[in-house]
């Protein structure tokens, strides 16, 4: 099983990219983790470019999602919502609607912020957007507030409660993506 991780931050020192790596530590044996790093290359969505031969970065994203068994997205919160570049990537991946690799794709969302609320609004928005694109979004979250203090040197989360949330979210996602569940 392959889980595709997407961080909604372009920052080299991103807390959300670190949170993805913390999630990787929770994967059961046999599950593979791949991080998609093409966010910066995505052009703004333009229906005129969304043809049989879309821009290369778009084709790569659609292919990465199609090949993955599940998606794990870590989003920052920008002005109480998700970053525009992340929304833009999901917009590209959501088309053409009936052929979108997001349709029926198991997905989970988590978030890290330096503020006190752990990107809970951004996570809710991300779940809404993914659900609208047809993904099977699992019902859970990881809200990592004060992220600058929350991740230890070894990449694990310092707070036991957050670690438990992370463990549960990853396992819910793996369960949702298990072949028996997909066949059902």
Which residues bind to ligand FMN, rule: CB under 6 A?
9, 11, 14-16, 76-80, 112-115, 117, 147
At CB < 8 A and 24+ separation, what contacts does 120-126 make? 120/77, 121/77, 121/80, 121/81, 122/8, 122/75, 122/76, 122/77, 122/78, 122/80, 122/81, 122/82, 123/75, 125/81, 125/82, 126/8, 126/73, 126/75, 126/82, 126/86
Closer CB to ligand FMN, 121 or 182, in the complex? 121
Cβ of residue 77: shortest distance to ligand FMN, in angstroms? 4
Cβ of residue 161: shortest distance to ligand FMN, in angstroms? 19
Cβ of residue 9: shortest distance to ligand FMN, in angstroms? 3
The Cβ of residue 149 has, within 10 Å, a number of other Cβ atoms equal to 11
Cβ of residue 110: shortest distance to ligand FMN, in angstroms? 11
> Helices marked H in 7-119 — which ranges?
15-24, 56-67, 84-93
Closer CB to ligand FMN, 36 or 175, in the complex? 36
Is there a contact between 70 and 107 (Cβ–Cβ < 8 Å)? yes
Which two structure tokens, joined as six digits, stand for 57? Answer: 């970065």
Burial of 79 by CB count in 10 Å (0-12 exposed, 13-18 middle, 19+ buried)?
Answer: exposed
Alpha-carbon Rg for the chain, nearest whole angstrom, is 16
Closer CB to ligand FMN, 45 or 117, in the complex? 117
Cβ of residue 78: shortest distance to ligand FMN, in angstroms? 4
Closer CB to ligand FMN, 114 or 178, in the complex? 114
Closer CB to ligand FMN, 51 or 116, in the complex? 116
Cβ of residue 168: shortest distance to ligand FMN, in angstroms? 22
Closer CB to ligand FMN, 11 or 32, in the complex? 11
């Amino acid at each position: 099983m392959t889980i595709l991780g997407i961080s909604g931050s372009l920052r080299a020192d991103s807390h959300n990219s670190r949170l993805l790596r913390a999630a990787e530590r929770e994967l059961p044996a046999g599950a593979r983790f791949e991080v998609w790093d093409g966010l910066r290359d995505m052009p703004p969505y333009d229906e005129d470019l969304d043809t049989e031969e879309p821009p290369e970065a778009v084709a790569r994203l659609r292919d990465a999602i199609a090949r993955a068994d599940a998606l794990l997205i870590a989003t920052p919160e920008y002005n109480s919502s998700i970053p525009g570049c992340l929304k833009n990537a999901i917009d590209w991946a959501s088309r053409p609607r009936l052929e979108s690799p997001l349709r029926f794709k198991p997905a989970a969302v988590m978030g890290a912020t330096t503020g006190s609320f752990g990107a809970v609004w951004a996570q809710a928005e991300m779940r809404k957007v993914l659900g609208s694109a047809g993904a099977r979004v699992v019902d859970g979250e990881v809200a990592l507030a004060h992220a600058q203090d929350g991740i230890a040197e070894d990449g694990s989360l310092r707070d036991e409660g957050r670690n438990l949330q992370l463990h549960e979210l990853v396992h819910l996602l793996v369960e949702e993506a298990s072949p028996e569940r997909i066949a059902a």
